[in-house]
Amino acid sequence: MLLRFNFRVYPTSGQQDALARAFGCARVVFNDGLRARQQAREAGLAYVTDAELSRQVTAAKLTPERAWLGEVSSVVLQQALADLNTAYRNFFTSMSGKRKGRKVAAPRFRSRKDNRQAIRFTANARFKVLDNGRLRLPKIGDVQVRWSRTLPAVPTSVTVIRDAAGRYFASFVVQSTDVPLPETDSEVGIDLGLTHFAVMSDGMKVTAPKFLRRAARKLKRLQQDLSRKTKGSNRRKKAVVKVARAHARVADTRRDWQHKLSTAIIRDNQAVYVEDLCVSGLGRTRLAKSVHDAGWTQFTTMLEYKAARYGRTFARVDRFFPSTRMCSDCGRITDKMTLNVRTWICPCGSHHDRDVNAARNIRAAGRADLNDRRAQIRPASVPAPRSETVTHRELVPSGM
């Protein structure tokens, strides 16, 4: 399995300038390649291949207009073309119906004003983690890294990211073997909600921390301060960074909390079942702010890849399964049940807590689905972490 480890890095002012040049060069190469393909399509010419784009980059370095492309590692430029190729592949497979999920738009031009900037170094770039803990990047220098753990193997690539808050991160890809946890007889169904973030089939309830709501007052003040700044001014740029840092703090806190909860669930249960919620649809309702604050998709992704890594079973139950309205004792399904109904009594005499009953039904449905297929469910595709914009089949962030 490929794992991704993210660490905070602290480049010097000179290294930040070098990274800014690298970000800019990668962006120019990406945009030049996109423009070449768009112009070829408009002219009715053949699709410009990756090899042709690579030759154009090499030729551009010899011209006065693009001579500065030689100031950065050639691997960075080639990886920018690889990103363009991935964007086109995702677009084509989405249009043809081979790619599941929401439709992917055509590649767009990158801007220097984009909140996120990133470059990638592969093994061909000969980056190296030094004995003193610094990260040596070609034509950048030795960058200080805050290590929170030791890498399990030599990384195959590293992506350097600058986020909207102005922070820098190094994201390492490492080949690692699965480490199954000791087997246990416990299985759990999880009903995700807003008042209680997660309700387990064993009756345990996890209160929703509501990180965004708790930070709302500070965010409101920072947004008001930003709205008073003149567009294009240095003070406005500083205010934008302050808002971005406040949002980043909320996201980081939420992610850390979800990592700890998902780790505990995977460690204590042999099988985990959740409902396949339509988060995008719920995000368009009056509960949108609370839904986005909950971060259900991120949490279920953590459960999914940790189950794959540690030899656990993970399954999603169909979103149209009536988990809430079905009695977990007799199987009777009630006609309607509004959100304000938190407890109810089945005609069979069973008293039910709405969420606990749903979690028990999710566990039962997940078990039945596994028995029907007679195979352990493993994720077919695991989304990459926030620091990456693409999806890798077996590339998962490390969080356990």
- For residue 99, the model assigns a pLDDT of 86
Q: What is the CATH number of the domain that holds 229?
A: 3.30.420
Pick the last residue of a domain from 155, 175, 195: 175
Residue 261 structure tokens: 């909860």
Q: Of 80, 74, 173, which Cα lies nearest the Cα of 118?
A: 80
Which is more confidently placed, 251 or 102?
251
pLDDT at 387 over 80: no
User: Which residues are known to be catalytic?
Assistant: 191, 275, 355
Q: What is the pLDDT of residue 342?
A: 83
Whether 180 is covered by a domain: the verdict is no
- Calpha distance 203→360 (Å, rounded): 9
> According to the model, what pLDDT value does residue 373 have?
66
Q: Evaluate whether residue 181 is within a structural domain.
A: no
Q: What pLDDT, on the 0 to 100 scale, is given for residue 374?
A: 52
- Picking from 118, 143, 175, the residue at the C-terminal end of a domain is 175
Per-residue confidence band for 283, with pLDDT thresholds at 50, 70 and 90 = confident
Tell whether the model's pLDDT for residue 155 goes beyond 70: yes
Specify whether 220 is located in the same domain as 303: yes
Which is higher by pLDDT, 316 or 286? 316
Contacts of 33 (CB under 8 A, 6+ apart): 48, 53, 56, 57, 80, 81, 84
Residues 332 and 368 in one domain: yes
Assigned domain for 16 exists: yes
Question: Are the CB atoms for 37 and 9 separated by under 8 Å?
Answer: no
Q: Which of 250, 254, 259, 76 is nearest to 165 (CA)?
A: 250
pLDDT tens track for 163-178: 999 999 999 999 888 8
Claim to verify: residue 203 and residue 274 sit in the same structural domain: yes
Q: What is the rounded average pLDDT of the residues 175-197? A: 91
- Residue 159 and residue 236 in one domain: no
Q: What is the pLDDT of residue 324?
A: 86
Does pLDDT of 389 surpass 50?
no
Q: Is residue 35 part of a domain?
A: yes
- Range(s) of the domain holding residue 117: 2-175
Residue 182 lies in a domain: no
What pLDDT is attached to residue 398? 54
Per-residue buried b or exposed e for 224-260, using 16+ beta carbons within 10 Å of the residue's own CB: eebeeeeeeeeebeebbebbbbbbbebbeebbebbbe
Query: Region 342-364: what's the mean pLDDT?
Result: 89
Whether residue 394 is predicted with pLDDT greater than 80 in this model: the reply is: no
Helix (H, G, I), strand (E, B) or coil at 107: coil
Total domains in the chain come to 2
The chain-wide mean pLDDT, for the chain, equals 89
pLDDT band for position 377 (50/70/90)?
A: very low
Residues 197 and 155 in one domain: no
Q: How many CA atoms lie within 13 A of 114 on its CB side?
A: 14
Reported as a single tens digit per residue, the pLDDT across 193-232 is 999 999 999 999 999 999 999 999 999 999 999 999 999 9
Is the per-residue pLDDT at 322 higher than 60? yes
Take residue 197 and report the two structure tokens written for it: 């973030």
The long-range contacts involving 83-86, CB below 8 angstroms and separated by at least 24 positions, are: 83/30, 83/120, 83/389, 83/390, 84/30, 84/33, 84/34, 84/53, 85/50, 86/390
Q: What is the mean pLDDT of the segment spanning 146-167?
A: 94
Residue 307: how many other CB atoms lie within 10 Å: 24
Same domain, 233 and 382: yes
Whether 144 and 7 have beta carbons less than 8 Å apart is answered as no
Q: Is position 299 within any domain? A: yes
Interval 297-313: pLDDT, tens: 999 999 999 999 999 99
pTM value? 0.84
The answer to whether the beta carbons of residues 170 and 9 sit under 8 Å apart is yes
Indicate if 162 and 249 belong to the same structural domain.
no
Same domain, 167 and 212: no
Indicate the pLDDT class of residue 280, thresholds 50, 70 and 90: confident
Question: Is residue 295 located within the same domain as residue 225?
Answer: yes
In a domain, 111, yes or no: yes
pLDDT band for position 392 (cuts 50, 70, 90): very low
Residues 238 and 306 in one domain: yes
Query: 182: which 2 tokens?
Result: 């000791």
Question: Which of the listed residues 145, 175, 205 is the one where a domain comes to its end?
Answer: 175
Answer yes or no: do 294 and 346 share one domain: yes
Continuous H helices in the chain? 13-42, 50-60, 74-96, 211-214, 216-227, 234-268, 279-282, 288-294, 296-309, 354-373
Q: Is residue 252 one of the residues assigned to a domain? A: yes
Is there a contact between 139 and 76 (Cβ–Cβ < 8 Å)? Answer: no
How many CA atoms are closer than 13 Å to the CA of 94, on its beta-carbon side?
A: 13
- Pick the residue with more confidence: 334 or 201? 201
Q: 206 with 168, same domain?
A: no
